[in-house]
Amino acid sequence: MNIQFILNGDDIQMTVDPADRLADLLKRKSLADSVHVNCGLGSCGRCMVICNGRPANACMIPAFQLRNAEIITYEGLVQTPEFLLIEKACAQHGLELCQFCKPSVYLLLAVLLEQHNRPSGDDIRQLLSAVNCRCSASEDIFTVAAAVYHLKEGRFNGHAGK
Amino acid sequence: MAMRVNEVASPKTLAEAVAFLRRHPQALPCGGCTRLLPDPAFAQKNLSLLSLGWIKELQAINRTDRYIDLGSCVSLNGVLALPNIPALDPLKKALLTIGSASIRNRATLGGNICGRDSFGSAFPALSAMEATVELRSAAGTQWLSIHDLVGQDNLPAIPAGSFLDRVRVPLRDWEHNCIVRKGPGLLPGDTNITLTIVANIEKDAISEIHIVLTGRQLVRNRALEMRLTGKKLPLPAKESENCHHDFLESAVEAGLPAGQAIAVADSVRAFLVDLSGGAS
Amino acid sequence: MDKRGRSAETGLPILSNFRAADLLYVVTLRSPVARGRIKSIHIPHLPRGYRSITADDIPGEPYLEVFGARLPVLASNQVAYQGEPIALLVGPDPARLREALELTHITVEAEVPDFNFNQFNSERIAARDSRQYGDVELAFSIAQQVVEGDYRAAPLYHAAQEAQGAAAWFDYDKLMVRTGCQWPHLVHRQLAAVLKVKDVEVVVEAADPGTHLDSRLWYPALVACHAALAAVLCGRPALLVLSPEEDFLYTTLRSPVFCSYRAALDKNGNFSALDARVIINTGAYGVLADELSRQAISAVAGAYAVPNLRVQTFAVRSNLPAMGPLAGMAIPQVLFAMERLANDCARQCELDPVRFRAANLLKRGVDGPQGKRKKNIPFSQLCEAVCQASDFYRKHASFELVRKRHSDPGSNPGRGIGLALSWQPPAGLSAPANVYSAAVEVELTKELKIIIRAGLVPGTGGTVAIWKALAAEIIGQSPDTVRIEPVTTADLPDSGPSTLSAGITLIPQLIESACHTIRSRRFREALPIKVKKSLRNRPREAVGPGDGCAWGVAAVELDLDRYTGQPVIQGIWLAINAGHILDEGKARRSLAASTALALSQVLSERIQFENGQVGANAWQQYRLARFMEIPPIHISFCGNEPGSPAAGLGDLPFSLVAPALTNALSQARDTAWLADFAGDIPHGGDR
């Protein structure tokens, strides 16, 4: 079948098997090296993408549901100001993620930034538990998550970088 | 193992979906596909799929004074994001036991209810909350108790040629409720079970109690519920023990492994002890 | 990631991102039974551009020689475990290869497999060891109390971020092989032998092994041989990446260990004798049997003084896939048993577990199984830190009171707090045959960039950051100017395996030395200046808790959930003495991450077994603990003195968390032996 979707702002058209999964498509066609196909069960979260504004496991998105979807991967996030905020918060708190976990954790942090209301501690824990990060401690990531939101508020209030 | 999809339809209206199902009665309706994709039972099968995610009506949420209607393609996070409605507490607690936040963004309520060979975690909660469901087929729509989705073999059974339209949950508060999910796996089945208990108390007596256990099979001992209803609190220790025994028997009879059956019966007893005010 | 697809932190590429023109994919045809004789293999007709590879196609040695074991690259006659590679299918389209795999039929004359390792005959013993001193029988005959227990450490999956695999391609006259491994030179040696080529004709490049937990010690050699065979026989680049399920089912699990202990106690509650039998299931072929057996015997008495000792260890082959060490080389499994025994002995003597441990500890100047100790074990210092932070004494006493007084024998007291003491040995393997030199080359370029080429695969980004900071500080540059070059076998001599924190204990010494040399030559010589340093890693015996070890004490507090009966961890406290800590913040973060992994192993990572082997749906049932389930982890460091040598600490949580948690659980459940637990609680690694 032919599908069309938006990947990091680019229109993508391709012919696929309906049972193909987004994670495999991105990997096979070299569209996003940051997406790691690990468990294939929607469990590990290392194939995280933002699908229509919400975090989703790319291994759980069949090709036939991709039609007209808007997908953002880590490669897309890198080009945004949110990425810089996250990088800054990580550097401030000494969080060093491995290259397998970093893209997914960053995407989830970016989703937090998009929320209108300040996320509660439980919201942060729930959301970030979507990645089974094996390289860093949960508390460190939660701290960075809170700091990212704080930086965003600072930016809106004109205190960025202070 | 990858599944094989012969044909997939993604209708935009209910009428188109019904028309497709009429032509392909064996087609499998699907929502977010989070249960379909990892399930080895579907690997290697040649499937015809009816993807319902594009139909707006199935994503609607409507609320009246007495009930709330949840479209079958409302995501689990969509339900969890509903403003604070105490009546939905047991359902929300059950949904939080499912997968991760990113999975719950895609997984739908309908997909969780309409498992083919085992019950999802939302089922016992909805069953205990006395939800009803609307099924749609070429013949029209019909409202059923959620219990009518349990087939003769005590497995979920959606009639061929029909799909779940919406779920109606009575807006009735359950003062006391607990959800217990046991088992490590991602998929419901032999090793994963969910127990839901909801109860209300009036004038120091149990006014209503529902106890539903699901996994591969559904376990509900209505005689036990009837016996408990109207009982004065605190329950005598002997009564809790009898309930433990009765529920254990029902669970074993339904084919639950002995270890799991004992564990859930223990949970029932703990709930009754808490209800009696014995909990710290 | 940089433009070459390598991590900006570690300089290592990700294997699955390997791309090449005309790339061929490789899939593995596996044995359907756990033991038997292959009668026939029927492979369907493959289209042009596809081919199969069997043992007959191997140009060189058809076996791998790893850690004292000899295992076939592709089984040709006898199969020793279910899923053992029999043949490879190679072609340009992975989907068609999978279809061909499904149509392939293997006929095997099945034989009765051996999965049980509690009972075994002498033919199945891959290694054995024993140690005895004093008069054990006499000590038991006059003992005030005798405490017995059987403790089991279940197999665990080394859940890394990427499944195992390898890529192979030609670079002019050299065969390049990329694999996520801990010991590139081991892979290199095997490749040269299997392909029957000269050493210089093959170069192994390390890919990022992720959080490997020692799963990449030897298995990458097997998949590297498969990918290389495909590349050599087809003359095109080849990529083999196992599916996650294959990785789970057929690569290495942590060796299950069964420990049977009998302890004699005198009237003061001190050990007077210990009689122990340790059986290690090495799976098929007995890989690492000697090493695991040696390490296990060195750890069998824990950190305790035992005047009379009799211990036997057996490493036993079975028809499970060949096992791996998982962080700690069998020491965590044996220490788990000893720490459980210490707890049960303390309870039997009605002593609090801290007092019991302190009274029985190995002392300075006293002869023990590890020789004469030069230093005291820093137990009291560590214990004080943990006990104060966790309020251990008060909690333990009050939970103990509840345990003793609770009236309903059918219920649980419900709360518990447990303690454990452990150590991590210095980096390197104990087998005397393993002689290698850790090597580092540091270059200061004309552009004032610092390039580090280390012979060891760096464990984590944190390790690399420490290397960078160290080099930058000594040479007087910014850490941004330091680059870590990928590890290949062409550049540097064999530096041994990257295990037991070797990246922290060995490499920084060499970087420091090389950078000091560069600094002294910097303004006297023209750039670039290149300095190479190496450190001979002398073969050593496994000596147990020697003077160079890192030490740790942990306390875990838990409640039992009233409805599920599952333990809910309330807190976890660790105190660590690992000599000089190079970067306390990084060490703390690394320990917290390892502690979370260790908790996940105990609480969640159950592997479902059916009829003695991993069940068909075990992969779907396997789960890791999520962040939400991990409680706050409190870590304190003791004895962090600059000038003292750095000891590795990354593996300590794997031997601390399981015994501390199960000691707490035994108090919460009022059960002496955790092995008595029935059903699915707790469903973790250690029982």
Domain C15-113+159-250: top CATH class: alpha beta
Asked if pLDDT for residue C566 goes beyond 90, the answer is no
Cβ-Cβ contacts under 8 Å, A65 against chain B: 10, 33, 51, 53
Question: Rounded CA gap, B138 and B20, in Å?
Answer: 10
Q: Does residue A100 belong to any structural domain of this protein?
A: yes
Question: What pLDDT was estimated at residue C409?
Answer: 57
Q: What residue of C is the nearest CA neighbor of A35?
A: C17
Task: Specify the number of domains making up chain B.
Answer: 1
Cβ burial C262-287 (10 Å sphere, 16+ → b, else e): bbbbbeebbbbbbbbbbbbbbbbbbb
Asked if pLDDT for residue A129 goes beyond 80, the answer is yes
Is residue C632 exposed (0-12), middle (13-18) or buried (19+ Cβ within 10 Å)? middle
Q: Measure CB to CB from residue A56 to each of B2, B10, B105 and give the nearest one.
A: B105
**Do A14 and A55 lie in a common domain?**
yes
Question: Rounded CA gap, A101 and A103, in Å?
Answer: 6
What is the mean pLDDT of the segment spanning C503-519?
A: 86
Nearest Cα to Cα of residue C325 among C391, C255, C248, C377: C255
The distance of B228 to chain C (nearest Cα, Å) reads: 19
Angstrom distances, CA of residue C259 to CA of C110, C329, C675: 31, 15, 11
Which other chains touch chain A, taking contact as 3+ CB pairs less than 8 Å apart? B, C
C214: which residues sit within 8 A by CB, 6+ positions away?
A: C158, C182, C324, C325, C326, C327, C328, C329, C499
Q: What residue of B is the nearest CA neighbor of A67?
A: B10
Q: What residue of C is the nearest CA neighbor of B193?
A: C564
Nearest Cα to Cα of residue A48 among A114, A129, A143: A129
Cβ-Cβ contacts under 8 Å, A64 against chain B: 5, 8, 10, 49, 51
Which of these ranges, C100-109, C188-197, C483-492, has the smallest mean pLDDT? C483-492
C328: which residues sit within 8 A by CB, 6+ positions away?
A: C214, C424, C500, C651, C654, C655
Question: What pLDDT was estimated at residue C426?
Answer: 74
Q: Does residue B233 belong to any structural domain of this protein?
A: yes
Q: Is C555 helix (H, G, I), strand (E, B) or coil?
A: strand
0.80 surpassed by pTM? yes
Cβ-Cβ contacts under 8 Å, B262 against chain C: 679
Q: Yes or no: say if A41 and A52 are a contact pair by the CB < 8 Å rule.
A: no
Q: Does residue A161 belong to any structural domain of this protein?
A: no
Torsions phi, psi of C297, nearest 5? -70, -30
Q: How confident is the model at residue C327 (pLDDT cuts 50, 70, 90)?
A: confident
Token couple for B145? 């108790």
Domain C436-537: top CATH class: alpha beta
Q: What residue of C is the nearest CA neighbor of A132?
A: C626
Q: Could you tell me if A162 lies within 8 Å of chain B, comparing CB atoms?
A: no
Task: Specify the number of domains making up chain A.
Answer: 2
**Do A84 and A132 lie in a common domain?**
yes
> Which has more pLDDT, A156 or C12?
C12
**Do A7 and A57 lie in a common domain?**
yes
Task: Examine the fold and report which residue of A28, A47, A73 is the final residue of a domain before the chain moves on.
Answer: A73
β partners of residue C554: C420, C574
Q: Measure CB to CB from residue A138 to each of C10, C623, C627 and give the nearest one.
A: C627
Q: Does residue A162 belong to any structural domain of this protein?
A: no
CATH number of the domain at C257-428+543-676, please?
3.30.365.10
Token couple for B245? 């025994």
Q: How confident is the model at residue C3 (pLDDT cuts 50, 70, 90)?
A: very low
Angstrom distances, CA of residue C191 to CA of A6, A146, C188, C301: 44, 49, 5, 40
C165 CB neighbour count, 10 Å cutoff: 25
Q: Does residue B132 belong to any structural domain of this protein?
A: no
Nearest Cα to Cα of residue C579 among C642, C646, C526, C504: C646
Are the Cβ atoms of C98 and B271 closer than 8 angstroms? Answer: no
Which of these ranges, B181-195, C433-447, C580-594, C628-642, has the smallest mean pLDDT? B181-195
Cβ-Cβ contacts under 8 Å, C160 against chain A: 134
Are the Cβ atoms of A57 and B102 closer than 8 angstroms? Answer: yes
CATH code of A92's domain: 1.10.150.120
Q: Yes or no: say if C365 and C372 are a contact pair by the CB < 8 Å rule.
A: yes
**Do A139 and A115 lie in a common domain?**
yes
Cβ-Cβ contacts under 8 Å, C680 against chain B: 182-184, 191, 259-260, 263
Which of these ranges, A64-78, B135-149, C662-676, has the smallest mean pLDDT? C662-676
Q: Measure CB to CB from residue A33 to each of C17, C586, C623 and give the nearest one.
A: C17
Omega within 30 of 0 (cis) for the link into C682: yes
Question: What pLDDT was estimated at residue B130?
Answer: 95
> Which has more pLDDT, C349 or C214?
C349
Q: Measure CB to CB from residue C563 to each of B2, B260, B271 and give the nearest one.
A: B271
Cβ burial C68-102 (10 Å sphere, 16+ → b, else e): bbebbbbbbeebbbbbbbbbbbbbeebebbbebbe
> Which has more pLDDT, B190 or A149?
A149
- Give the relative orientation of helices C184-195 and C219-234 as an angle to the nearest 10 degrees: 40
* Contact residues, A window 102-131, toward B, CB-based 8 Å cutoff: 108, 126-127, 129-130
Question: Rounded CA gap, C138 and C560, in Å?
Answer: 42
Q: Measure CB to CB from residue B103 to each of A21, A42, A64 and give the nearest one.
A: A42
Cβ-Cβ contacts under 8 Å, A67 against chain B: 10
**Strands annotated E in chain B:** 4-9, 28-30, 46-51, 61-63, 67-71, 132-137, 140-145, 162-170, 176-182, 193-202, 205-214, 218-219
Q: Measure CB to CB from residue A55 to each of B53, B99, B102 and give the nearest one.
A: B102
Question: What pLDDT was estimated at residue A160?
Answer: 44
Q: Measure CB to CB from residue A33 to each of C5, C243, C626 and give the nearest one.
A: C5
Q: How confident is the model at residue C533 (pLDDT cuts 50, 70, 90)?
A: confident
pLDDT, one tens digit per residue, over A142-159 is: 999 999 988 887 766 655
Domain carrying residue B191: 176-275
Q: Measure CB to CB from residue A129 to each of C595, C620, C627 and give the nearest one.
A: C627
Which of these ranges, A56-70, C332-346, C361-375, has the smallest mean pLDDT? C361-375
Select the residue from B186, B216, B264 to test the C interface by mutation, using most C Cβ atoms within 10 A: B186
Q: Does residue A89 belong to any structural domain of this protein?
A: yes
**Do A57 and A89 lie in a common domain?**
no
Are the Cβ atoms of B33 and A54 closer than 8 angstroms? Answer: no
Q: Considering chain B, what is the average pLDDT of its residues? A: 89
Query: E strand or H helix at C238, and its extent?
Result: strand C238-241
The distance of B173 to chain A (nearest Cα, Å) reads: 24
Torsions phi, psi of A137, nearest 5? -85, 145
Asked if pLDDT for residue B43 goes beyond 90, the answer is no
Question: What pLDDT was estimated at residue C677?
Answer: 30
β partners of residue C294: none
Q: Could you tell me if B267 lies within 8 Å of chain C, comparing CB atoms?
A: yes
What is the mean pLDDT of the segment spanning C237-252?
A: 94
Side chain identity at residue B156, one-letter code: P
Token couple for A109? 């942090």
C148: which residues sit within 8 A by CB, 6+ positions away?
A: C261, C262, C263
Question: What pLDDT was estimated at residue C371?
Answer: 64
Q: Measure CB to CB from residue C565 to each of B39, B186, B266 and give the nearest one.
A: B266
Angstrom distances, CA of residue C60 to CA of A14, C55, C174, C194, C356: 44, 10, 17, 4, 58
Q: How confident is the model at residue C119 (pLDDT cuts 50, 70, 90)?
A: confident
Name the residue with tokens 């900071």.
Answer: C469
Q: Is C654 helix (H, G, I), strand (E, B) or coil?
A: helix
- Give the relative orientation of helices A81-92 and A138-156 as an angle to the nearest 10 degrees: 130
Cβ-Cβ contacts under 8 Å, A21 against chain B: 37
Select the residue from A20, A57, A105, A123 to test the B interface by mutation, using most B Cβ atoms within 10 A: A57
Cβ-Cβ contacts under 8 Å, C621 against chain B: 183-186, 191
Domain carrying residue A31: 2-73
Q: Does residue B192 belong to any structural domain of this protein?
A: yes
Which of these ranges, C51-55, C125-129, C641-645, has the smallest mean pLDDT? C641-645
Q: Is C441 helix (H, G, I), strand (E, B) or coil?
A: strand
Q: What residue of B is the nearest CA neighbor of A129?
A: B100
CB pairs under 8 A between A and B: 74
* Contact residues, A window 15-34, toward B, CB-based 8 Å cutoff: 17-19, 21
Q: What residue of C is the nearest CA neighbor of B182?
A: C564
Domain boundaries of chain C, sorted by first residue: 15-113+159-250, 257-428+543-676, 436-537
pLDDT, one tens digit per residue, over B31-41 is: 998 888 887 77
What is the mean pLDDT of the segment spanning C288-293?
A: 90
Q: Does residue B123 belong to any structural domain of this protein?
A: no
Q: Does residue A113 belong to any structural domain of this protein?
A: yes
Cβ-Cβ contacts under 8 Å, B2 against chain C: 95, 98
Select the residue from A37, A46, A57, A60 to test the B interface by mutation, using most B Cβ atoms within 10 A: A60
> Computed over its alpha carbons, how large is the radius of gyration of chain B?
19
What is the DSSP secondary-structure string of A63-116? GGG-TT-EEE-HHHHTTSHHHHHHHHHHHHTT----TTTHHHHHHHHHHHHH-S
Asked whether the ipTM of the predicted complex exceeds the cut of 0.85, the reply is yes
Q: Could you tell me if B153 lies within 8 Å of chain C, comparing CB atoms?
A: no
Nearest Cα to Cα of residue B150 among B9, B254, B45: B254
Cβ-Cβ contacts under 8 Å, A99 against chain C: 1, 7, 9-10, 14, 208
Task: Examine the fold and report which residue of A27, A47, A73 is the final residue of a domain before the chain moves on.
Answer: A73
> Which has more pLDDT, C543 or C503?
C503
Cβ-Cβ contacts under 8 Å, B100 against chain C: 626
CATH code of B238's domain: 3.30.390.50
Cβ-Cβ contacts under 8 Å, C14 against chain A: 33, 36, 99-100
What is the mean pLDDT of the segment spanning B177-203?
A: 80
Chain A residues in contact with chain C using a Cβ-Cβ cutoff of 8 Å = 17, 27, 30, 33-34, 36-41, 43-44, 46, 94-101, 125-126, 128-129, 131-142
Are the Cβ atoms of C1 and A99 closer than 8 angstroms? Answer: yes
Task: Examine the fold and report which residue of A55, A73, A91 is the final residue of a domain before the chain moves on.
Answer: A73
Asked if pLDDT for residue A5 goes beyond 70, the answer is yes
The distance of B35 to chain C (nearest Cα, Å) reads: 12
Q: Does residue B130 belong to any structural domain of this protein?
A: no
Q: Does residue B226 belong to any structural domain of this protein?
A: yes
**Do A6 and A52 lie in a common domain?**
yes
Question: What pLDDT was estimated at residue C674?
Answer: 45
Are the Cβ atoms of A36 and C1 closer than 8 angstroms? Answer: no
Q: Considering chain A, what is the average pLDDT of its residues? A: 90
Which of these ranges, A84-98, C362-376, C480-494, has the smallest mean pLDDT? C362-376
Which other chains touch chain B, taking contact as 3+ CB pairs less than 8 Å apart? A, C
